[in-house]
Amino acid sequence: MTINKHKSTIINELYKEIESGNINFVDSFWSNIKKTGTPIIESIDGDSEFSLVTFIYKGDDNTESLQLYVPVNSNPNNIDCASYGLSEFKFECISNTNVWYASCIVRNDVRLSYMLLLNCPFEKASEYPERMIKDSFNKNKLIFPNDSETEKDFVIDYVNMPDVDEHIWVKERIDTLKGKIETLKSKSEILKNERNITIYTPSNYRKTNEPYNLLVLNDGAEYLRISAKEILDNLINDNKIPPTVAVFIDSNDDRMTELMCNDNFSSYVVDEVLPWVREHYNVTTDPSKSIIGGLSLGGLTASFMGLRFPNVFGNILSQSGSYWYKREDYENPEKRNWLARQFKNIDKLPLKFYLNIGILEGPQIYEANQTFRDVLISKGYLVSYEEFKGGHDYLCWGETLATGLIALIGKY
């Protein structure tokens, strides 16, 4: 995804009308935008791989600046699909109008989510979350229901380019047998805190059946928001994976500490959560039928837990794992990829891996995943590695969760 200094056909037409003195054309412009929705995707003559994407915002007297917030970054390994620094995605305002726009060239086979950052420099976005606003003209919304009764749902706009692969596993099916979920509080003596955990049991679950496969996912609430329950229902119904019990472990305000190769968090999962789960649910104790997984830092932690507890988890599912992590001397780039070095320096463990990374993710995380993959392969591990067509993005992690489960425990 690259910045385009040329204007779209629609924007060019608007400029021409205004320059000719037809200022009333702006009203017609907004009427059309309301009907067609945004962003506007236009083909590029002679280019079948990329399109021009134009984001449009209707400003007012209080609009001072506008930037596009997209979870992608510059990646020299995939230069054709690179974006530049997000701070460069600044909207322009057409003089004497309320029309703000930004045009980018984007690969035709990617999907990405985005938000608009109003009156706030990008580097301060985390300090002013209320200034991250929705695209009111975009009809495609990724909605994360909020668990609190007082908070609003979290809504993200997204765009699917013309040649994206169809997502089939994240969609709820009316005629599919449905599993059940139960959410409860988990108090930890090890961590001295509490959090929600949610248990998924497949349809026709029975305590008298053979023990079920076990899936444990960090960042549990996020996984449920990206349709993990529907994914499990669909995969099991289509006989792609065996009936599986899933444990979704929520993160809390200590996520940045707990999910950075944290011994205490790992012990909490293995020594507190799993004994309770095995007491109350019919799940396997066979590591080869047990998966630990996560996204971003959760993926890093999943691999760390495999390192620590290969007798518990024999399958590691990592989505956009943060393998750049450095345990010590944080400012020293030579200390990156700490976890890869740990695996390199020990004998091979009885583990199987699924790793993925987005082609629109930044070079640090992209290269770290490749390094981790290469180390594992050099040690003789079975590794399924996938590069999906998107960024560090919830929009992509749902469907690729299904890919990972099939790779690790799929019925072949």
- What are 270-315's pLDDT values in tens digits? 999 999 999 999 999 999 999 999 999 999 999 999 999 999 999 9
Q: Return the pLDDT at 130.
A: 78
**Residue 263: count of CB within 10 angstroms of its CB:** 10
Q: Return the pLDDT at 83.
A: 41
Evaluate if residue 244 carries a pLDDT over 80.
yes
- Among 54-68, 124-138, 265-279, name the most confident range: 265-279
* Percent of the chain whose predicted confidence (pLDDT) is above 90: 76
Banded model confidence at residue 85, pLDDT cuts 50, 70, 90: very low
Evaluate if residue 79 carries a pLDDT over 50.
no
- Domains of the chain by residue range: 2-160, 180-409
Q: Return the pLDDT at 328.
A: 67
Q: Return the pLDDT at 333.
A: 62
Mean pLDDT of 98-107: 92
Q: Return the pLDDT at 173.
A: 96
Banded model confidence at residue 75, pLDDT cuts 50, 70, 90: very low
Q: How many helices (H) and strands (E) does the chain have?
A: 11, 18
Q: Which of these CATH numbers, 3.40.50.1820, 3.40.50.720, 3.30.70.1350, 3.40.50.2020, describes 180-409?
A: 3.40.50.1820
Q: Return the pLDDT at 127.
A: 72
Mean pLDDT of 223-232: 96
Q: Return the pLDDT at 77.
A: 37
Fold (topology level) of 2-160: Immunoglobulin-like (2.60.40)
Angle between helices 9-19 and 25-36 (to 10 degrees): 160
6 CB burial (10 A radius; 0-12, 13-18, 19+): exposed
| Rg over CA atoms, the chain | 23
Evaluate if residue 205 carries a pLDDT over 90.
yes
pLDDT tens digits, one per residue of 337-395: 999 999 999 999 999 999 999 999 988 899 999 999 999 999 999 999 999 999 999 99
* Structure tokens given for 305: 């837990």
Examine domains 2-160 and 180-409 and report if their fold is the same: no
